[in-house]
Structure 1
Amino acid sequence: MKTDVSQDDILLREVRDGIGWITLNRPKKINALSAELVAAARAQVEAFEKDDAVKVIVITGANGNFSVGYDIAQEVEMGLSRPEDWHAGLTNNVGLSMAVWSSTKPTIGAVDGWCLAGACELAMACDMIIATDRAKFGEPEIRFGSGPVTLLMPFVLGQKKTMELLLTGDTIEAAEAERVGMINRVVALGELEEVVQKLAQKIALTPMVTLRLTKTALTRAYEAMGLRNAVNVNLDLAATLNAAEAPEKAQFVELVRSEGLRKALDYRDKRYGALT
């Protein structure tokens, strides 16, 4: 039974049998994470964290895609140039992923279609990821002079695969993502919602105090390994990286301004050609 359904344009919220669903809802932009959507999603994660009626939080995307990551066109329009300006904006982006990571309630990423860049980081911040067989993961922002904002991948995948993905900008299919340990399970397209809901309900049978303390212990274990420090250090470096000058990046940004994001992405992809 579905209860407590509300819609606020760019974000959908639903509580279903004790499971809180958050849906990124900018389908015309492939659910790109605008500043407004980042703020709304973080607020909703924090609201579900405080809601005693919610035992598990699910994050998904509308209309056949999770998200293509942070809204590049909006970033270009904002005209950020100094490291300190980038740092302020990126801090908000990191804040969303780390709100998910820090939640004391179990979180599940339900992924269909594209799950790229900052959205890939958001999914990796979830405790578990279930994906359809057509889902694709990666952080291709390296190809236009940016880089990961919330550096979680080394802790999820390990050093070798992280190096490969973050230095090439390659994307991987769901089956490969499962093989390397990025996601938990691959399901058929029409089964995603049902499988995630059943998994969440199974988790929710455990007493809330047990869920909270077990997740806290696991979170602290990763933070003892240096996860949070790595995220904070990377945030400082990412601000510098996004402000750094490179001819390829300058060309990409100019194309976004003059001809639109699609032309800029075509330019980016053409540079890699047959190597993609």
Structure 2
Amino acid sequence: MTEAKVLIDQPSEKILRLTLNRPEKRNALNDEVRNQLFEGLREGDRDKSVSVMIIRGSGEAFSAGYDLSQPNHSVERSIAKTDGWWSRHVVNNWFEIWDMSTPVIAQVHGWCLAGGTELANACDLIYVSEDAKIGYPPVRLMSPPDMQWQTWMMGMRRGMEALLTGDHMSGVEAVASGMANRSFPKETLDNAVLEIAKRIAKIPNDLLALNKRAAHRAMEAAGIRNGIRATADIQALGFHQSSSKEYMGKLSKRDLKESLSERDRDFGDYREES
């Protein structure tokens, strides 16, 4: 029997917790992880006894992003025939969390990179460990983000800096930027998030759903849904640029770690700083 890639438990009444369970891969998001995650989220959203859901990662990371070592095939037929299907597919997934009635919390510790940051920012609340490392390094040699959350969650200037450098920030910096709600010492993060979830769960589910929807409707009036979908198409365009084609060609022919080191070597961070 294969080990579950997403562990599900109920640490307290009305609270469902989903733990990404690929610690040996820093919880990289492959089809198996994403499918199990969304099955669990959908089931929790349908369950009237669940008021809040928490997503966290096992081991040393929340998630290192999409798994580049294996192909991803899980995609809706309606978008599979056109170029850019991947970015549209994952944005559809992230907006599914946005559209759920149940509030979803991202509990972030350790590395939170690329697609991992997209998962976190698709959630309604983000609580981080102070020493978390959050960034989107693919902008350096691959493409813009599938889900460009940076300018929406951090504002134009900070978002622009993140997109133009690919640098990572700490959990403390993520709170200061507006991306995350609060930061906690790593050793107290579990309990702190659980206590916040318990406070949320005191409110009736029907009002929680409307409160969540009210916040989202305000953001949608400002254009967030159309804006993020538009940048998904820009991400697809990124793969047609000569620099991206050259890098992706190398990526397909050599060791993944070597390719990631090439990406970050001049910056002296991520893999190169450890």
TM-score, normalising length from structure 2?
0.88
Residue 171 of structure 1 corresponds to which residue in structure 2? Answer: 168
Structure 1 residue 266 corresponds to structure 2 residue 266: no
Structure 1 residue 20 corresponds to structure 2 residue 16: yes
Q: 2:143 aligns with which of 125, 132, 146?
A: 146
Q: 1:63 aligns with which of 49, 59, 64?
A: 59
Residue 226 of structure 1 corresponds to which residue in structure 2? Answer: 223
Question: Which stretches in structure 1 are left out of the alignment for 5+ residues?
Answer: 1-6
Structure 1 residue 103 corresponds to structure 2 residue 111: no
| Residues 145-200 of structure 1, C-alpha deviations (whole Å, 9 max, x = no match) | 21211122222111111100011111111111111111111111111111111100
| Residues 49-95 of structure 1, C-alpha deviations (whole Å, 9 max, x = no match) | 111121001111111210011112224999xxxx9555222233223
Return the offset for 1:212: 0.8
Residue 3 of structure 1 corresponds to which residue in structure 2? Answer: none
Return the offset for 1:228: 0.6
Give the alignment of 1:58-207 within 5 angstroms: 58-75=54-71, 87-207=84-204
Return the offset for 1:30: 0.9
- Counterpart CA distance in 2 for 1:258 and 1:226 is 40
Return the offset for 1:251: 4.6
Return the offset for 1:256: 3.1
Secondary structure at 2:195 match in 1: helix
Q: 1:11 aligns with which of 6, 20, 32?
A: 6
Residues 106 and 127 in structure 2, CA contact (< 8 A), matched pair in contact too: yes
- Counterpart CA distance in 1 for 2:248 and 2:29 is 18
- Indicate how the Cα distance of structure 1 residues 273 and 66 shifts in structure 2: closer, same or farther if over 3 A, else same: closer
| Residues 232-275 of structure 1, C-alpha deviations (whole Å, 9 max, x = no match) | 21222222223x1324x34533443333111111111113349x
Residues 150 and 160 in structure 2, CA contact (< 8 A), matched pair in contact too: no
Q: 1:51 aligns with which of 47, 51, 57?
A: 47
Letter in 2 for 1:261: L
- Counterpart CA distance in 1 for 2:107 and 2:44 is 17
Residues 56 and 107 in structure 1, CA contact (< 8 A), matched pair in contact too: yes
Comparing both structures, which one devotes a greater share of its residues to helix? Answer: 1
| Residues 214-234 of structure 1, C-alpha deviations (whole Å, 9 max, x = no match) | 111111111111011012212
Residues 15 and 54 in structure 1, CA contact (< 8 A), matched pair in contact too: no
Q: 2:232 aligns with which of 225, 235, 239?
A: 235
- Counterpart CA distance in 2 for 1:175 and 1:197 is 19
- Indicate how the Cα distance of structure 1 residues 246 and 84 shifts in structure 2: closer, same or farther if over 3 A, else same: farther
Residues 55 and 105 in structure 1, CA contact (< 8 A), matched pair in contact too: yes
Letter in 2 for 1:246: S
- Indicate how the Cα distance of structure 1 residues 14 and 163 shifts in structure 2: closer, same or farther if over 3 A, else same: same
- Indicate how the Cα distance of structure 1 residues 155 and 21 shifts in structure 2: closer, same or farther if over 3 A, else same: same
TM-score, normalising length from structure 1?
0.88
Q: 1:257 aligns with which of 252, 262, 265?
A: 252
Aligned Cα RMSD in Å?
2.3
Residue 4 of structure 1 corresponds to which residue in structure 2? Answer: none
Secondary structure at 1:73 match in 2: coil
Secondary structure at 1:123 match in 2: helix
Letter in 2 for 1:253: M
Residues 84 and 239 in structure 1, CA contact (< 8 A), matched pair in contact too: no
Residue 31 of structure 1 corresponds to which residue in structure 2? Answer: 27
Percent same amino acid at aligned positions?
33
Secondary structure at 2:84 match in 1: helix
- Counterpart CA distance in 2 for 1:34 and 1:110 is 20
Secondary structure at 1:259 match in 2: coil
